[in-house]
Structure 1
């Protein structure tokens, strides 16, 4: 799709937008790869159901299974403009940029070494993911999961298990939380 000569009005509109600018519109279509939004201002798109487009990761700070977990067709949304996608002639948008990042709030109130209770959400070859707060997941690397190391994740824990973990690293820039399995201390009731 070549740009400015075929759709000068659309091109001019998209070129006039600034990163971070708030744009309102209506969700017109939900696809497995993202969500189309018909913007209130600006022209219609010649091929797509909307000039605005949200990729799945830009819908929410939380990990979601499908776009329909967050939005529905016909819903009004207010999104931040990210960039002009000149190839598709669309405005790339972000819904999550208009909401506070729960990871930053968590990181500001949590220190390395803190013990937390969490629920195992996913087993992967490199370890297990544990949700320690609403929408906040951390990874226990395989080497931190078992003592002595060597067992597969599913030999130690299952999805849904409640476990105690220790925060070993908080990477605010990459929004990553590293955890370790908390050692259970022996009880002293055999006196």
Structure 2
């Protein structure tokens, strides 16, 4: 009998704290389990040593007859305490360090939603701060529990049992890769659809498939635009033409104006000689006034066609921003020219012919009076 006991003791395994051992679960209770590790007494596995996460009852993690690896956390003559959590962590930290160094993507299921972020079990407790979950702000993470997320290790410290993970790092990397692909495939001159992301004083930023391009305020319409909000609004889907692409600086110049029919095209057949139209004085120059008669379309009222009297400058009669009526004298859309007359609408008087003579130079010549205009009469008298 004594010999049998000695033989049995001799066959017992030796255990030291920190060892990783294999054991078969023999009994499962609510708050602890027992396992046969080949020791003289069954080993105890406390519920707190089952997982890096909270466990309600042992049967959620272990079943009788399960044969698993455990870490020895206490080894005495009459007591052996094992940790499933410790064994998993021992292996996990090494794997996680490798994944951190290589930048490998890890898939994990969200185990808990806690204040400030999400928790996953990767053999050790991993924490995903709220700011590292998505590329956009998330107000409520409740529906993330049970969801599989793709993660990168951003910080780990086995000594402090600290593991910080990020899904945003994965999404940012994918977005950058996609952006480069889009930039490489953009062709100057192409017309594409985009979504207005934000408006600024100088234009609008438009997302064209993962890349933001700028529509400068000067490229929003054929007419002068004071504010981008006059033409587009955030969230609106629009067509834009690609003007320039700089892949290195990731800058794309876009135009809404280039996708629209030219203003001179739209007025063709709409304005004819003899028509009386309304417009706004846009600019005064020495030889006349430019009047906007349609968005982006300006006609010239030559100084000789402003009034039924001689004037030295257009500013004597007109001012910028003034609304006026004028008669169309000539229209040439191909050359983008319209000749207008305000004088034609004024009541004719005996000075009509005299006014016309005073501005006898051709309208195309805006350089001032010709030499013949100034000394023509004197030359005629001299010849006689």
TM superposition score normalised by structure 1: 0.68
> Which protein shows a greater Rg?
2
Matches within 5 A, 1:133-152: 133=294, 136-142=297-303, 144-146=305-307, 150-152=311-313
Q: Does 1:120 align with 2:286?
A: no
Could you say which residue in structure 2 is the equivalent of 1:57?
A: 218
Matches within 5 A, 1:62-141: 62-85=223-246, 88-111=249-272, 113-126=273-286, 127-133=288-294, 136-141=297-302
SS in 2 for 1:14: helix
Q: For residues 56 and 68 of structure 1, what CA distance do their matches in structure 2 show? A: 10
Q: C-alpha deviations, 1:76-104, integer Å up to 9, x for none?
A: 22212233245743222221233333321
- Tell me how far 1:134 sits from its aligned partner: 5.5
SS in 1 for 2:234: coil
Tell whether the 8 Å contact from 1:123 to 1:154 is kept in structure 2 after alignment.
Answer: no
Structure 2: runs of 5 or more not aligned = 1-175, 350-384
Higher RCO (CA < 8 A, seq sep 6+) = 1
After the TM superposition, which parts of structure 1 deviate over 6 Å for at least 4 consecutive aligned residues? none
Tell whether the 8 Å contact from 1:118 to 1:133 is kept in structure 2 after alignment.
Answer: no
- Tell me how far 1:8 sits from its aligned partner: 7.5
Q: For residues 132 and 100 of structure 1, what CA distance do their matches in structure 2 show? A: 17
- Tell me how far 1:178 sits from its aligned partner: 4.2
Q: C-alpha deviations, 1:137-174, integer Å up to 9, x for none?
A: 3232445434555433332134333322334453536x
Q: For residues 138 and 186 of structure 1, what CA distance do their matches in structure 2 show? A: 23
Q: For residues 179 and 156 of structure 1, what CA distance do their matches in structure 2 show? A: 15
SS in 2 for 1:60: coil
SS in 2 for 1:107: coil
TM superposition score normalised by structure 2: 0.38
Could you say which residue in structure 1 is the equivalent of 2:17?
A: none
Task: Write 1 or 2 for the structure with the bigger share of helix.
Answer: 2
Structure 1: runs of 5 or more not aligned = 1-6, 45-50
Q: For residues 308 and 249 of structure 2, what CA distance do their matches in structure 1 show? A: 52
Could you say which residue in structure 2 is the equivalent of 1:166?
A: 328
Q: For residues 246 and 329 of structure 2, what CA distance do their matches in structure 1 show? A: 39
Two-structure CA RMSD over aligned residues (Å) = 3.2
